[in-house]
Amino acid sequence: MKISHIRKVKIITLSVIIAGVIIRYTTLDYFDFFQSTTTPIQKLFNQKLITTDTNDLTSQTVYLKGKVLDSVLFFNSGSYQLQDKTGTIWVLKTFNEMPKIGELVKIKGEIIYQPILIDDQDIGEFYIIELERLN
């Protein structure tokens, strides 16, 4: 009887722990748990120096977080400069409202590299197309 009672207590305890873990992880914010963390902006520029083919970087999805430094409006779209503690990058926005200067934003975006060749030297730049605003 004593062994069976201990076994029941262990099973109940284990069940409660498993239930708690399941509840905890199913209630986490989707983007904080299942998506990759935000990428430091400087890492995009460092990758350009490492890779010989910038097409390897283009069209990849990244998550960025930072402060809006500047913005420019176009006819049906706009662009804003995003800064984190490692650097700045321009973000092209084709939907939603333009974030306010000084606003902190977190975005899901697509990396685009625009090559600029001068005397066979590539001085091109990265920018981001905003796919989704996460905050």
**For residue 80, what pLDDT is reported?**
94
Q: Which CATH number fits domain 37-133: 3.30.1330.20, 1.10.10.10, 3.20.20.210, 2.40.50.140?
A: 2.40.50.140
Domain ranges in the chain are 1-34, 37-133
**For residue 6, what pLDDT is reported?**
66
* Pair type for strands 117-118 and 104-114: unpaired
* Pair type for strands 121-122 and 104-114: unpaired
- Two tokens at 106? 């977190």
Please give the model's pTM, rounded to 2 decimal places: 0.65
pLDDT per position in the chain (135 positions), as tens? 566 666 666 666 655 566 555 555 444 444 444 455 888 888 877 765 444 455 555 678 889 999 999 998 887 789 999 999 999 999 998 777 889 999 999 999 998 887 778 888 877 788 899 998 887
**For residue 28, what pLDDT is reported?**
45
DSSP 88-116: EEEEEE-SSPPPPTT-EEEEEEEEEEE--
**For residue 2, what pLDDT is reported?**
62
**For residue 52, what pLDDT is reported?**
47
